[in-house]
Amino acid sequence: MKNYNILKQISVFLENEMGRTSEVTNVLAKKDINILAFNLSGVNDYGLFSFIVDDVPAAEKALKEAHLAVKLTDVISVNCPNKAGALTEILDHLTDGGVSIDYMYAFQYADTSSAIIRPTDMNKCKDVLAKYE
């Protein structure tokens, strides 16, 4: 299995209105904070903008100063080759280890992909992934 890291994910709760997502990205851009990966989802009148940044403390502070509802969550970033079947291998190991996933999103760069995973049991997920490094 490939390596993994525990990361802090920032989530911002937003009304589903035009310009709300860019409000968040503008706050971060003004502080020179880079978004490395993100997921945007919405249900009815509200949305959840979740992302990984290069400076979590600065991002959290800037977003709170902008009066945005911010939540920090631990997630696992699992790196693997950017090739067919690599994600399946990771998911099969997690399934075999009894790890359930609340949600997941991914990004890729060059020959590597990273899956951002929020497992229901972080410790169990780490134990399963450690067996396959």
Q: How far is CA 35 from the centre of its chain?
A: 10
Terminus-to-terminus CA distance in the chain, angstroms?
5
d(CA 47, CA 70): 13
What CATH number corresponds to the domain at position 54?
3.30.2130.10
- Estimate the share of the chain in helix, then strand, then coil, as percent rounded to the nearest 5: 30, 45, 25
Distance CA 64, CA 76 (A): 24
The boundaries of the domain holding residue 127 are 74-131
65 shares a domain with 27: yes
- Within a domain: 23: yes
User: What is the reported pLDDT for 20?
Assistant: 87
d(CA 113, CA 80): 5
Please check whether residues 81 and 37 belong to one and the same domain: no
pLDDT tens per residue across all 133 residues of the chain:
458 899 999 999 988 888 889 999 999 999 999 999 999 987 788 889 999 999 999 999 999 999 999 999 999 999 888 888 888 999 999 999 999 999 999 888 778 888 999 999 999 999 999 887 6
43 and 92 in a single domain? The answer is no
- Shared domain check, 78 and 56: no
Displacement of CA 10 from its chain's centroid (Å) = 8
User: How many other CB atoms are there within 10 angstroms of residue 27's CB atom?
Assistant: 18
Sign of the four-CA dihedral 124, 125, 127, 132: positive
